[in-house]
Amino acid sequence: MKRITLGAAGVLLTLSQAGIFSQGALPPKLATDITAADVQTVIKAPTGGGDRQMKVVDMGKYNVSVGVLRRGKTTPGAPVGAINHEHVTEVYYVISGTGTLLTGGAVENAKPLPADGEIVKVAVGPSNQGTFKQAAQSRKVGPGDIIIIPPGVYHGFTDVDDHVEYVSVRPDPDHVLPSGYVHPLLKK
């Protein structure tokens, strides 16, 4: 009898835990807001580098994140850095500035970014960095332009006279980004 009671308690505990764990696979019941004021708060932050993740939301079967990025002036004729992300797609919406975005093609001296770095842990997951040898595509981008960069596609900016600032929406089907992340300046 004692064994049956312990077994029944174990089954009940397992079933109650299954309900808790399966909730992560359900989409959220409420929308997530990122206001214009939130974007400006993160853009104007004195630190945080060029890639500032604002929020990462667990959508059940996948995560989605939103960040704001800034690329500064480039040096004419200098090698163009290239980066790719192994699991995450990026959708860019340019909000200010202009530059030339290179995508695809041949990259040399590629190496993985450090797994313990902020860019990998919070912004884009496992990624590789190198230098463009020959891009497959080159296009001038400016305010209002939208670009979709699939996982594994190298990308980088050149011909930036002053800056390019853009919002990046990142679908994350493999849940490599930290669900529930909120930029420290946006925590209320």
Tell me the pLDDT band of 46, cut-offs 50, 70 and 90. confident
Q: Which residues pair with 134 in a beta bridge?
A: 106
Secondary structure class of 42 (helix, strand, coil): helix
Rounded average pLDDT over 43-62: 87
CATH 2.60.120.10 fits 28-186, yes or no: yes
* Residue ranges of E strands in the chain: 51-58, 63-72, 81-85, 90-97, 99-103, 106-112, 127-134, 137-141, 146-149, 155-158, 163-172
CA distance 140 to 120: 27
Tell me the pLDDT band of 15, cut-offs 50, 70 and 90. very low
Rounded average pLDDT over 107-113: 97
153, amino acid identity: V
Say if CB 56 and CB 175 are below 8 A apart.
Answer: no
Rounded average pLDDT over 124-150: 98
